[in-house]
Structure 1
């Protein structure tokens, strides 16, 4: 029933599963028609991606981070206070003002001490630069390989140069093995990202990431079942073309290679703006909305596909606006003071001046003394991102902050 429903809404009227053969001879090789059961292989493939990622990060990414000079921050360790530890595990690790007042009264500490302890406790849970480098390097490798393989498999096709060929003979368009595996690998990879989202570096857009992964999986799966593979492969190729520039820029940012980071970010910005604001709406959306009507009449799958693509384009415009703001600040100010993109790590608001939160001379210091005060908070190294175009894109605080956070 599910398969029939997809075929009814995903293809023009009069076309059903019985009209779609499992295989068909094409030239010297053998191609297939897309069937929903083909997508079942993506789940074990996602598990294989997770296992491969663990091996890659341990054997390749970790030694590479050391070779490139990635350094981790050492945060001020919060004193051992079992009662606050219990509250942190059972409740919110970032208590509200009313909770701070209650804890101060309950444990005989000042609000400043309680607030400082929780801030240090949250900082201890921050992911290290090495961990973030490994995550970025894994995505960089996949996006680079996916883009290279996708380009190699599509550059000789007719629809790569003429988008009208995406609809010639639709929906009975056989799918080549290379394009089938391109689709399956992309879907399996995004499934692996969704399965790992709870253990990956959590950023401020954690919920948006989950929604994005689910929407991407749903879009790829629907376009496969509805046999929109030709235009779907082009859309995936466009997105992969800029993603590996972004991940490589993050890698060099964590390593402190500021010039390489800036160059890669500029390349990412150019490729992103051209592919997402020019090629994607000018060729992809125009083809799905206008050119496709020369080959079939509108049907539910046609409207659903275009609705998803328009939502995607709205996100492109939003991200392009933020990128252009960053580029403007970089060109006219020489730096980016604050990046409002969603790729900030969660809890960046904690990176404030801890110095003023410590007890003043003569105040009750409660369970800990001033030994972890100013001396422990002084740092010999500034944040690498302060002079990098990505700044808060990958981590950290505003460059206006007067107090370093690392030892």
Structure 2
């Protein structure tokens, strides 16, 4: 009897030890799971997921549409009661009396610029949210939210720059300075602007101001500061050339810039759709036009402006004994040349990045967006 009791006591003791050991293991696993859950929550709080990014971006686009529509509704309703207060927002100002289609410039042109900015914001946000993103998802099966956003942004750039280039080139083809740089400056100041040309220039002004807003709303990219500097310089050149009637040289530069942007946007859209080979071919075409237009043609215009413009505009130089509507000094010319040179410096920096992509393609890789942020994965 005593031996049987002892065996039972030993078995009970072992069961108790096993139970306690199992409890300790269970506690350790529970604690480990809790720690993992806390770490996961912390990471999610520090790094918002793609859904959060998508919601934030969509929210910005939807608010932009709402605010833009509100602006135009209020403008329309105000115009019904007080047409004199609103017609400046929708009508070109400073038409020369007795002319059919000749306009001067002035401070009231800012009203049309404001209208153009709001219109661009509305059209851009609408196309991004309701046209281009659905195309990326449903037509090209782009699953990544970030890639959908990038595709939509480049789609808008393609639409706008194509429209801008066609509009601008038509005016250039009809102009007296078509393929003749001397006529860019002969007869200065060019204060008689056609309605179509004036609207084109004001629209370009609005576009670059709007792009500064977009640049600060979008997710920051690797070359944010280069882009910001580029947009600021371009806005200064556009505003300054408008005030000093240097709109002809501004017109030519805008045209040669638009062509390259069309090709760049096309290449990026092909990349986001997964067409790597087509993207590489488009990148090659883009590279050729980049060198021809943004380096060779641009620098020729830059050289021509610095060496021949003062002589061609000699009659417009500021004189104390002469009343002049607008005149220039060597300092004013130098300021414009410095700004044009600044644009070329930024272009050279981008060219260095493009060469890196080219080297990667030659080594067997594929073209990638050098402007992408550090992490393009969802």
Same fold (TM over 0.5): yes
Give the equivalent residue in structure 2 for 1:179.
197
Is the 8 Å Cα contact of residues 241 and 250 (structure 2) preserved in structure 1? yes
Quote the offset at 1:335 in angstroms. Answer: 1.6
Q: 1:335 corresponds to which residue?
A: 365
CA deviations 1:113-145 (Å, max 9, x no partner) are xxxxxxxxxxxxxx6111111111111110111
Q: For 1:229 and 1:306, locate their aligned partners in 2 and report how far apart those are by CA, in whole Å.
A: 15
**How high is the TM-score relative to the length of structure 1?**
0.62
Instruction: Report whether the alignment pairs 1:344 with 2:344.
Output: no
Question: Secondary structure in 2 aligned to 1:191?
Answer: helix
Give a deviation string over 1:377-400, Cα, whole Å, max 9, x none: xxxxxxxxxxxxxxxxxx46xxxx
Deviation at 1:263?
1.6
Match of 1:381 in 2: none
Shift of 1:150: 0.7
How far 1:220 moved relative to its partner?
0.8
Equivalent positions of 1:241-260 (< 5 A) are 241-260=259-278
Cross-structure match for 1:93: none
Q: Which residue of 2 aligns with 1:66?
A: 137
Aligned to 1:286: 303
> How large is the RMSD of aligned CA atoms in angstroms?
2.4
1:322 correspondence with 2:353: yes
2: distance between equivalents of 1:25 and 1:245? 43
1:226 paired residue number: 244
Superposition misfits of 4+ residues, deviation over 3 angstroms: 21-26, 336-339
Larger radius of gyration: 2
Contact 1:160 1:234 in 2 (8 A): no
* TM-score between both structures, scaled by the size of structure 2: 0.66
Q: Per-residue deviation at 1:291?
A: 1.8
Which one of the candidate residues 92, 110, 131 is aligned to 2:149? 131
Counting matched residue pairs gives: 272
State the structure with bigger RCO (CA 8 A, min sep 6), 1 or 2: 1
- Equivalent position of 2:113 in the other structure: 42
What is the rounded CA distance, in whole Å, between the counterparts of 1:242 and 1:254 in structure 2? 19
Q: Which runs of 5+ in 2 are unaligned?
A: 1-92, 318-328
- Residue 313 of structure 1 deviates from its aligned partner by 1.4
Query: Which residue of structure 1 aligns with residue 184 of structure 2?
Result: 166
Q: Where does the alignment leave 5 or more consecutive residues of structure 1 unmatched?
A: 1-20, 74-126, 349-394, 397-405
Cα offset, 1:44, TM superposition: 2.7
Please tell me whether the aligned partners of residues 140 and 248 of structure 1 are also in contact (alpha carbons under 8 angstroms).
yes
The answer as to whether partners of 2:280 and 2:366 remain within 8 angstroms in 1 is: no
